[in-house]
Amino acid sequence: MTYTTAIFYFFAAILVFAGLRVITARNPVHAALYLVLAFFTAAGLWMLLEAEFLAITLVLVYVGAVMVLFLFVVMMLDINLEKLRQGFWDYLPVAGFIAALLMIEMALILGSRHFGLDVIGAPPPHPADYSNTKELGRVLYTEYVYAFELAAVILLVAIVAAIALTLRRRKDSKYIDPAQQVRVKRGDRLRIVKMQSTPKAGRGESGE
């Protein structure tokens, strides 16, 4: 067993453990922290695949930004996990059976008999001066610019949808548009009513 193989199994074991703990931890904050661990070990595995840029992005974006946000949300929301987990043990036998079945099927097909190194050769390792970042940057805006722009449009849809679904104007809001206030004219607020002046009844008589 070479050093990289040992590293791979070490990381893979941690990843599986962390993944299991994400769904079994009682405390949602712990679950989120285990997810951080899972991301981190996955990044380590990607590093072994010579995908250095993606590995670092995973740590920076997912661990650094997304999971921190997640932790905040989890801490702020009062989630009752016991309620969410009701029926877990009832569903477990069926779900576990199906999961085991899927695992066995996948192992049969994706095992070394069909996808092993003797069937599909290992890709040649890149030289030390090979830059993963440069390679990605080279194709991202050239060959794959269409897909890249489409991904951007999908993000735009996400923004539009999120705003459309959550922005609510309160009905009892007393908000006044400042521009309208500035533009207001005398005629909008003040109404001068011409009235006939009438002498007060009784005064004339008393003057006599």
Partner 1 sequence: MRHAIMQFAPVFPEIFVLAMVSLILVVDAAVGHRQRHLAYGLSLLTLAGAAFLTLRGFATAPGLTLGGLFVDDPLSDVLKLFLYLTVAAVMIYSRDYLRERALYKGEFFVLALFALLGMMVMVSASHFLTLYLGLELLSLSLYSMVALHRDSSVATEAAMKYFVLGALASGMLLYGMSMVYGVTGSLGLADMAAALQDGTDLHIPLVFGIVFIVAGLAFKLGVVPFHMWVPDVYEGAPTAMTLFIGSAPKIAAFAFAVRILGQGLEPQVGDWRDMLVILAVLSVALGNVAAIAQSNLKRMFAYSTISHMGFVLLGILAGSQSGYGSAMFYVLAYALMSLGGFGMILLLSRAGFEADQLDDFKGLNRRSPWLAFLMLLLMFSMAGIPPTVGFYAKLAVLQAVVGIGYAWLAVAAVLLSLIGAFYYLRIVKLMYFDAPVDTSPIAASADARVVMSVNGLAILALGIVPQPLMAICIHAIGASF
Q: Which residues bind partner 1 (CB under 8 A)?
A: 109-110, 114-115, 119-120, 138, 142-147, 150-151, 153-154, 156-158, 160-161, 164-165
Structure tokens, 161: 């949808």
Compute the distance between CA of residue 45 and CA of residue 39 in angstroms, rounded to an integer: 10
Please say whether the beta carbons of 15 and 36 come within 8 A: no
Structure tokens, 157: 């849809």
Tokens 């090979």, residue? Answer: 130
- SS3 string, 37-70, reads HHHHHHHHHHHHCCCHHHHHHHHHHHHHHHHHHH
- CA 157 to chain CA centroid, nearest Å: 14
Compute the distance between CA of residue 197 and CA of residue 124 in angstroms, rounded to an integer: 105
Minimum distance from residue 40 beta carbon to partner 1 (Å): 23
Minimum distance from residue 109 beta carbon to partner 1 (Å): 5
Minimum distance from residue 141 beta carbon to partner 1 (Å): 10
Please say whether the beta carbons of 42 and 76 come within 8 A: no
Crossing angle for the helix pair 3-24 and 28-48, to the nearest 10 degrees: 160
| Single-letter amino acid code for the residue at 208 | E
Minimum distance from residue 175 beta carbon to partner 1 (Å): 13
Nearer to partner 1, 17 or 70 (CB): 70
Please say whether the beta carbons of 42 and 12 come within 8 A: no
Nearer to partner 1, 158 or 184 (CB): 158
Minimum distance from residue 166 beta carbon to partner 1 (Å): 9
Minimum distance from residue 108 beta carbon to partner 1 (Å): 9
